[in-house]
Chain A
């Protein structure tokens, strides 16, 4: 059913871009943040960030922000919305396989994340000549792992929420504290000790740390804890999400 997968992913991408709110938060909001905070802090090397500039470290951090908004907002809202409105039921009456549906959805969200990251990097490069010291493949691996872990969380939220509205609320309740407590918006280096302690319980922290590590070319062995947490999150949320997934209400 490769034809179905290709067609569905293509359609999903178009629909994503046509949804102004989701497209804004994925593609436009992170570069805007970069411009805003760049105007405040600039990108001069800072001993606090190990000699990197505030904008340099913001690139992998905001990539975490994109992952959070795609995985914890777009995924649950779309999935629960499709379920509530009977879109999934209509798909289920065709030979489309459930796996094909999910794979297309994950691919779409991954591609949108990459688009968002490209927009971010482009603006960062144009305005601040941001540094990249890592390898593209390492970064890509870190991105895919982080994305799958967060998306799995999103599908789980969709499965647990009774309807689209509650999925959105749960998504927001998880998303907003998480982006401030993980270093995805404000670097943890400037946070008080108490916040840093809380951040160790926030899954997104590990994604941001891993992405930052790979962005600046740190070896994987320094990030085994991040990898372990993300793999664990993926397995637990993924298993629970498939357990609670529903094609329709009732």
Chain B
């Protein structure tokens, strides 16, 4: 598979803080690549070095075969960028913004196509200052697509959006990939990375601590799946901890929690309970998530860091 981005030993320091501390990874053409980690992990610094907006202290970066430092001009023609903290002039209208940004490139999408794609037709004459957060982000995506880029950067796309707007964004990102573009995104929502990304790099304190597909990460770290239920009548014959795939059994109040791995964990436990004549009530399963991966890798919860 072709490589869209190569990053080797990227380093960037601000005064006291080593924002990026030797990050190495690559992004393949056509994938949705996610960089996840808590706020302040160095994601934005890394993405802005790759976009050519910041100068790294050290390391090698190649984006579409170009050096973002010395070949920024050519690179900017071929990438689309959505920045984390940026704005447009408050009185600039949606269509005007699309026309303006289109004029910066030798070839571009027509504003109408983008308005339709992003569902902004009815907002074409609305000034930036009167758009909602979700509409602003959609316009920013439109601007990132205006030059038909090969590679699109999305930095914290869904921060500050409500769950519905967030889901809408996810659909858009999938559409962008279906158009044959590579997507590099950063997020501090583990769920977002899990739902959207082909591969994720987990970043913590400026370092990449893991890089894999979300399911691969969960599997490789051997993080347990949880199955919990209440048992209607106690049944001494039912020895949950002796069942295959089960690693651990806990009692939490009325409920029993079974930890284990493998896709068949649930059916094995439920069948055994049926066979022993123990009625299970209110069965819940909880699959391990990237949150658990982060906890396992760093020893900290995402939220507290």
A89 touches B100 (CB 8 A): no
Contact residues of B: prevailing secondary structure: loop
B104 touches A96 (CB 8 A): yes
A19 touches B91 (CB 8 A): yes
B73 touches A87 (CB 8 A): no
CB < 8 Å: which of B14, B83, B92, B104 contacts A95?
Answer: B104
Q: Mark A65-106, 1 if CB is under 8 A from B, else 0.
A: 000000000000000001001110110111110000000000
CB < 8 Å: which of A8, A18, A95 contacts B100?
Answer: A8
Q: Tell yes or no: B39 within 8 A of A by CB.
A: no
Q: How many residues does chain A have at the interface if contact means C-beta atoms less than 8 Å apart?
A: 23
Complex: chain B residue closest to A5, CB-CB: B103
Q: Tell yes or no: A40 within 8 A of B by CB.
A: no
A86 touches B105 (CB 8 A): no
B265 to chain A, nearest CB (A): 47
Are A82 and B89 also in contact (CB < 8 A) when A4-B103, A95-B76, A95-B104 are? yes
A167 to chain B, nearest CB (A): 16
A18 to chain B, nearest CB (A): 4
CB < 8 Å: which of B51, B76, B87, B104 contacts A4?
Answer: B104
Q: How many residues does chain B have at the interface if contact means C-beta atoms less than 8 Å apart?
A: 23
A15 touches B89 (CB 8 A): yes
Q: How many A-B residue pairs have CB under 8 A?
A: 57
- In the complex, what distance in Å separates the CA atom of A18 from the CA atom of B128? 13
Chain A residues, CB < 8 A from B53? 89, 92-93
B89 touches A86 (CB 8 A): no
Are A7 and B91 also in contact (CB < 8 A) when A89-B83, A95-B76 are? no
Chain B residues, CB < 8 A from A95? 73, 76-77, 104-105
Q: Tell yes or no: B81 within 8 A of A by CB.
A: yes
B88 touches A90 (CB 8 A): yes
> B residues 64-82 with Cβ under 8 Å of A?
73, 76-77, 81
Complex: chain A residue closest to B144, CB-CB: A93
Q: Mark B130-143, 1 if CB is under 8 A from A, else 0.
A: 00000000000001
Chain B residues, CB < 8 A from A18? 91
> B residues 10-28 with Cβ under 8 Å of A?
14
Are A15 and B91 also in contact (CB < 8 A) when A8-B100, A89-B83 are? yes
A87 touches B86 (CB 8 A): yes
Chain A residues, CB < 8 A from B92? 11, 15
A11 touches B76 (CB 8 A): no
The 10 closest A-B pairs by CB, nearest first: A86-B86, A7-B103, A93-B81, A85-B87, A90-B86, A18-B91, A94-B104, A95-B76, A96-B104, A3-B103
Taking Cβ atoms with an 8 Å cutoff, the residues of B that contact A are 14, 51, 53, 73, 76-77, 81, 83, 85-89, 91-92, 96, 99-101, 103-105, 143
Given contacts A1-B104, A85-B86, A89-B53, 6 further A-B contacts (CB under 8 A): A6-B103, A7-B99, A86-B85, A89-B86, A93-B83, A95-B73
Taking Cβ atoms with an 8 Å cutoff, the residues of A that contact B are 1, 3-4, 6-8, 11, 14-15, 18-19, 82, 85-87, 89-90, 92-96, 250
